[in-house]
Structure 1
């Protein structure tokens, strides 16, 4: 029996964490053969050499592509995209996949999609149709959608948006978000076990903080960070930080986090990459999430946790009732609301709008059964 070769390309810890249950499901299917390429931040010591976690999870990495330049500028991001686009051509030529599997909207993901398209390899894309108006991810995501043949989206509204872009409804599937699968399937760490692994005690009131660059914002990032960290200091809560991603401005954020944590190591802790198990376990045990990451919008609802979503990076994304959108100037007030008894009760009564934890099975079933092509007809909406 000839197995269908599925080549997944991953560039960051966060996107890999969401891909993880899909990759495991592919591994378990006799009709599929998994190929895996690690790129960008996975190969960077600065961002935690997270390819090692992929290997620890039981995956063989077929190709490693070190394309991330040691700079924080838009120019370097553009050059890193060019590098990964060029180097992936050799990898795809060598591996000869039947389909390239991509998740999300990062610059290296766009490079992978461009290479696959030019080499006539069908693309299957997860998490298309979403809106994030404050980041360049917005344009990248929709561009990848138009290059892709199969689409796996996280809500029915996102499915309709992809169809609105001219994609055939027969190739667009509302599977839910695969990140919810991890919450359902993982045996999460107890608070004591998590604290032992972190070598740090969660304080009486504690937040999980992840903040990425809003790459389309015209505001002064350093000035914004000064305000955010002043509010965190004045709030009195403990904070567990994770690193920002490798987008333009990410290194500025990470430097600020490192400096801030030195103020009180008992109260503030930074971990470059928690990995999915520790990240979700932390999400379970903290009192609230603060930042502008999609995990606060998508996964946190499964734990009934309050989320303070800062700024416009996630503007346009569907949000549950546990999410408080706020401008930086209103951050202190929003943290107070998130920790209020009434709002906590409201959050605990929310259902997650992004699925129930069976996305991976649905995605992989379609990867097995759907015909593949690079030829598409634009479907007009009547």
Structure 2
């Protein structure tokens, strides 16, 4: 790494005598003479580059006479949108009458750099989103398409409403991220109801209420257009898939079915394929939406049952979904007649 230096006093290499207008650093952070390659020892007044956490001034720091340089770099930090690589005005290195001026400039610069920067708000929201989705994925299956949609919508909402989000606190940025995620998870049928779902991950009722307040703002103000398109889908298939995801998730939770995390994506993918094929065969004609979806849920749970004892009966499923036994049975029989369901089962090799 090389660093140009403007020296307030001329300095020469103690070994070869060359004038040092700049110095080089080796991999260990030691200053090296660019002419002879000798390591410039601290004993001769040279400062080692001790990394991001240390000082970067090779010669003396800001002096009382006003000579010297002010360090323009700070520590690396994940809490800042630019990672800490941007310029920082540090008033503590200014002396005398310039201190107040630098302090004022530092405050204004910190506002624009951290609190009110659009990129900063977006990065904070995306970080919180990723952590939240990773945490809840142990409880619900979030399809990759839904996860990508959450990221896309979050960026759009922040960009479209940047003026409204200026100056909001870190906590409110977190609340905004939770609200955006919950809006889409609800609309896509991954989460049945936001408040009861949040109680699984938050113990503080006040915190939950704040998130719900932000959820209302996102739904009916900041992301109203996006939300209305999702809850009023023009595509019939999307409507059935959204309702189907929430129905399957509800049944699994209520019956306390023990599926491993790696099994859930396969189960959901199989169920969504059944819905698409059933609609293409016009199996929904003359049926209530929940009757069709309930019958397909019955097929999925039987295909993925681990033993005879763990199989779910038609009457139990019908009671849980509040539909008639006959509707579950009719859908099941029609699906067996009209749909080709191929299930590959891994077998052990013969010895």
Query: What is the TM-score with the length of structure 2 in the denominator?
Result: 0.24
Task: Give the number of the structure whose residues are more often helix, by fraction.
Answer: 2
- Structure with greater proportional strand content: 1
Higher-Rg member (1/2): 2
Q: Which has the higher contact order (CA 8 A, sep 6+)?
A: 1
